[in-house]
Amino acid sequence: MALRDFFYQLSESELLNGAAQKYGLKLGARSVVAGTTIPEVIESIKKLNSQGISCTVDSLGEFVFEEEEAIRAKEEILAVIEAIHNEGVDAHISLKPSQLGLDIDIDFCYDNLREIVERASQYGIFVNFDMENYARLQPSFDMLQELAKSFDNVGTVIQAYFFRAKEDIEKFKDFRLRIVKGAYKEPADVAYQDKLEIDINFLELIEYHLLHGKFTSIATHDHNIIAHVKRFVKEHEIPNEKFEFQMLYGFRTDMQAELARDFNFCTYVPFGKDWYGYFMRRLAERPQNINLVTKQMFNKKTNTLLAVAAGAFVLGRLTKKK
């Protein structure tokens, strides 16, 4: 728990985020972030497509508090949509409303989102609203519902650690949904804290949407959850076209390829210079992810990054106290 909290705290540091952008992916995150430019991410998508794997693309961005930053983020996402269309790759968009101005002004954010969804709709490209922390949850759902009045290429994420998740999945059962356990540190008055409780709720949400929903993306690296879903879809004769498994870029690559041979499979492909917060949350959310990263990518440079991050974080805390 202490290690997880440590990485959560690191993920929220603007100071370290700035430092990470300065040094780029060469300090360790390259194995789990598919480059910093659109041409780089398109090449990564092509390699995954060649294995029968679809992709959802996230142009990373956090700590957006100025309209100019949000507009730049919107323009890059629009450029990704154009690249997906022009290159003919099998991919769609994942985005975070906060990156597009949710923390600045909700009407401004909505206008940015609508422009993206409208452009994607022209090319038949799906847009998924990634859910963030609890404070941003309801505003994000509200904008999604408003956009759904005009467009049918939008969906969202249900986070299993929230108490309200079952109510939300019933409300949004006619949407394409990605179901996840949850990647932010949330207080005990709104979210389960115990892993077993989260896992139970996660499975119940998956089963509900498989039986009653439009299309289900099951986002997990947990082989026990995956085995359970395989049994469930077989027992209930749920066709493959109703669901997909989904994992993060760079994690359990052998299992990704194996699942893609028998089921629809989608890899969550993040890219961009603003990779730091994403990377730290992946280390924080599950001890298994830390082990996977250790096996696949940790080297002297990465250990140096974490040592520098720890030192900078402590220094930042001490400076604030002064």
The catalytic residue among 130, 168, 199, 274 is: 130
Amino acid letter, residue 181: K
Instruction: Please say if 261 is a catalytic residue.
Output: no
CA torsion sign, 146 to 272 to 2 to 195? positive
| Torsion angles phi and psi, residue 151, rounded to 5 | -135, 145
In angstroms, the CA 209 to CA 157 distance is 12
Token pair 């790759």 is found at 89
Contacts 24+ apart (CB under 8 A), 43-51: 44/249, 44/269, 44/271, 45/84, 45/87, 45/89, 45/90, 45/91, 45/269, 46/87, 46/89, 48/267, 48/269, 49/89, 49/90, 49/91, 51/256, 51/257, 51/260
In angstroms, the CA 248 to CA 253 distance is 9
DSSP state, 162?
Answer: B
CA torsion sign, 65 to 66 to 69 to 73? positive
Instruction: Return the bridge partners of 250, or none.
Output: none
Instruction: Please say if 178 is a catalytic residue.
Output: yes
The catalytic residue among 119, 178, 252, 281 is: 178
The SS3 assignment for 103 reads: coil
The SS3 assignment for 247 reads: strand
Query: Would you please indicate which residues are annotated as catalytic (active-site) residues?
Result: 130, 178
